[in-house]
Structures are given as C-alpha cells and as structure tokens.
Homo-oligomer: A and B are copies of this chain.
Amino acid sequence: MGALRFPPLPTTVETQAGARRPLETTTMPGLLERYRDYLPLTDQTPMLSLHEGSTPLIPAPKLSKRLGVELHLKYEGLNPTGSFKDRGMVMAVAKAVEDGADTIICASTGNTSAAAAAYAARAGLKCIVLIPDGNIALGKLAQALAYGARIVAINGNFDAALRLVRQISDEHPIALVNSVNPYRLQGQKTGAFETVDVLGDAPDVLAIPVGNAGNISAYWMGFGEYHEAGRSTHLPKMWGFQAEGAAPLVRGVVVDEPQTIATAIRIGNPASAHLARAAVGESGGLFDLVSDDEIMHAYRLIAQEGVFCEPASAAPVAGLLKRHAAGELEGGQRVVAVLTGNGLKDPDAALRSVEAPRGIEAEMDAVMASLR
C-alpha cells in the first residue's frame, strides 16, 4: 500500500476577498456553501449549516492488503449527528424554511430522526417524529429527544408510520422530510462529489450499504453530475450490499419481516428501489447480500483500522470480503466503501460480542498475569 495515490497536499487558500493565506487558517464550509453550484439553491435558500459533510476518506491499509485492492473508507460517522443523513437533511430543511414551513415531520426508527431534529432546532422549526412502537436504537432516540423533537410512538410498523406522515403533510402545513422529499437525495449526492474531489477522480468501485436505497441512488447521481462537469474521467461501478435478512433488491421480492443486526438497513421494501436498480444497471455494478456474522466480522476489521462504525456500515466491507473470498474481486482496483454511521449510534453491537471484564486485584502481578 505504498501506492495510495493521494493528490499533493494543499498549502495555501485564496479567500473571496482575494487574499492568500495558509490552508490551516480556514475551516471547511457546510455543504450548501461548498457545493452551491451543484445544488438546487435559490437566493431565498438560507445557508443552513452545522458544518456537515467534508468527512474524511480514510485509507484502510490492513483491509487493502487482505483484499488486494486500494480501499478507502468514507467515514460518514463524523457528520454532525453521526450519519450520512445530515447531507440530505440540511438541504431538505433549508428548502422547508425557504417554503415558509414552521414544522417538519418524518417517520423514522433512527438516523433520520436525529438529523431532522438537529436541523429543525438549528433553523428554529418544530420537529415531529413518528416512530413504530418498539425497535429503535437507544442512541438514536436519545438524539432526537435531546434536540427537542416531539416523538410520537404509534401502534404499528414503519410502513404505517410513513403512511401517516404523508397524510399529515398533505393535510396540514407541515413539511415532510422523509426520503420521498426530493431534496434529500440532492444533498446526499455531495458524498460522491467529495470522494472524487479528494481522490482526484472517481474510484473504480463504490461499495455501499443498501436499506431504503436512497444513498446508492444519490451517489450515482453525484458521480454522474461530476463526470458531466468534467471532474472525473470515468464512473465507478456501484456495488450495493444488503443484509441477508433484509435483501429485497438481491432477492427481487419485498421482505415482509426484515431481520438483521444492522438496524439502519433493516428495510424490506426500499422507497428508492427503482433508482438503485438503475444505478447498479447503468454502472455495470451489482447487488449482493451478507450475513449478520459477516457484517460483525467486517465491523471488527474496520475497527482495527481505527474506525468505529455502526453495523450497517460494515456491510459493504463484508461484501468486499465475500467477493474476494469467491475470487470475484479484481485486484489493484481503487475501492471506496461508504461507512454511513458512527459506531456510537449503536454501542450495544460492540458490547454484544464480548464478555464484560471481571474485576481483579489492584496489584501489578495480578494485572500482568491476566494479560497472558
């Protein structure tokens, strides 16, 4: 892995006022500012920002060696609320403000609710979150509550919650920010822009978890727009990975009771299925599935690179490992895996696979003995 082809590091920046100063005297702007020329903004769109985006693309030398490719991890867990959802939500909430809304609503079991609540708080809007009764990761509910969202638990599943929020936004002056909101994908496509910007070109393969299928669709849109703008010489193959118990796009049938440890992709009937199929088809990519065991194995290998992600984020790495084991991963390629959320979103996953340490005597020999 001496061949990581990062572009030369920048040293100075030019300000809007025309002055020059060292790069370290700046901070990255939020996404609406950074990619304003590529987003559907108007003069009336507020420049809402929590400094989302500009997440690191972290080289993964140990996994690269194992896989025989040049693997980079796009670590979306360092977005303001800890997941890639912030990219789409900053755009959706900015447009809600532009349209005069004073309340937003969504159905969510996790990352979406945290992002919606954070940007609503920032913009001074009220936020209503409908959750299916039960089945929500602790950390994610904590966030929406902390940001001041009104949480309503309904007696029903996610589909019922989504039907309700659509009905409510149709009949009340309340903006819907679920993924049916078209601005969400517009914001999410910036992940592809950043990938190309940092690598200097598109990767050969973009590996990504697929749940509701919006993100793979958004990345494909972003790669396409950047390519058209002359910012990359080629388009990547889009590889979408689903969990074995929640793999409607792999199996070609809706899954009524999706099951997986990777809660962020536990979705049986993806809203953006058609767009995701187009992304995979047009790019010459693929869908594949990975088991929960394979996901948790990849999760631990990613942590050995120094990166802590939520289980769903490990699915693309699990998929790459699976295809490598099957002799179906071409060596030497540049591959980017999108790690969609922070491991702190779901600490139970990390604790599940280990025994709690037992207390031993506070004495050096006892400690050293316990380490043998």
Contact = CB atoms under 8 A, between A and B. Distances in A.
Contacts of A351: 138, 141-142, 145
A326 interface: no
A60 B316 CA distance: 37
A363 B78 CA distance: 37
A266 to B, nearest CB: 19
A101 interface: no
Interface stretch (A8-16, A176-184, A216-224, A233-241): A8-16
Interface string A344-365: 1101111100101111111110
A1 interface: no
Nearest to A150: B371
B25 A28 contact: no
A370 B26 CA distance: 46
A357 B151 contact: yes
B143 A344 contact: yes
Interface string A144-184: 01111011111110001100100110011000000000000
Contacts of A364: 164, 167-168, 171
Contacts of A344: 82, 139, 142-143, 342, 344-345
A197 B25 contact: yes
Given A138-B351, A168-B364, 19 more contacts: A9-B16, A10-B14, A10-B16, A13-B13, A25-B197, A27-B198, A51-B78, A75-B80, A118-B308, A121-B306, A139-B139, A142-B350, A143-B308, A146-B308, A147-B306, A147-B308, A154-B359, A164-B362, A164-B367
Interface of A: 7-17, 19-21, 23-29, 33-35, 50-51, 54, 56-58, 75, 78, 80-82, 118-119, 121-122, 128, 130-131, 133, 138-139, 141-143, 145-148, 150-156, 160-161, 164, 167-168, 171-172, 193-194, 197-198, 200, 299-300, 303-308, 342-345, 347-351, 354, 356-364, 367-368, 370-371
